[in-house]
Amino acid sequence: MKMVPERQRLDRFLANAHVGTRNEVKRLIRSGLVRVNSKVVTDPSFKVSKQDTVEVDGKIIEAHRKVYIMLNKPAGYVSTTSERERSVLALVNHPYTGELHIAGRLDKDVEGLLLLTNDGEFTHRIISPKKHVEKEYFIETEEPVQVDEKMRKKLAEGLRLKDGTKLLPARIEQINESTISITIHEGKYHQIKRMCEALGIRWKKIRRVRIGGLTLGDLKLGEWRELSDEDLKKLLE
């Protein structure tokens, strides 16, 4: 049974829970289709508390809640709510889709781990450079690349981009002869692409594989799922 987070009007509770608009849920209540603790309630202003169970036509209604979703983003989708281009939100069939925002965007041609939520405080915790949440990217290159100590030192000291922008310390590692890993703590515009440019690396494909301690696991390209409490701990550990 899901609990109501605080005392509030019944019509507000149902509207927030996406049962319908405020006017629609008022009509449902007045028609006798809503029960609170198994008793019919016809007054939209009736107050419900966290101990109450609310049903509409026999179905228990979840209280409005904070939602955290991970998506394995394919290339070709934008990390916005744009109606002119294919948005990542089109891939997420969830009751709260209309109020979700992206916690750390990915470029249209970049794949991988993307977080969506309706929790602004969580988003700030994830994207703020001051919080030092790691974001790891795998970069497939046009030709073989050898990561050396000079590259590692440049990133560890804070790489300077071609336009003079100084980045926070980062890490670069060799995955195989044509794949490298770059781990950052911030998210500047086109940052990974600009880092590759500054290092003279021609990238072919970029994929975000990790945020904090959370990885894609077996989530297939284009698939999504809600995060568990354990996932959230991994993100912020």
Active site residues: 107
Going along the chain, which residue ranges are E strands? 8-9, 34-36, 39-40, 47-48, 54-56, 59-60, 68-73, 101-102, 111-117, 135-141, 171-176, 179-184, 203-211, 214-215, 224-226
Which sign does the torsion angle of CA 152, 154, 160, 166 carry? positive
Strand ranges across the sheet with 34-36: 39-40, 34-36, 54-56, 59-60
Q: Residue 209 in contact with residue 138, Cβ under 8 Å?
A: yes
Is residue 213 exposed (0-12), middle (13-18) or buried (19+ Cβ within 10 Å)?
middle
Please give the angle made by the CA atoms of 113, 202 and 77, to the nearest 5 degrees.
Answer: 35
C-alpha closest to that of 17 among 2, 32, 38: 2
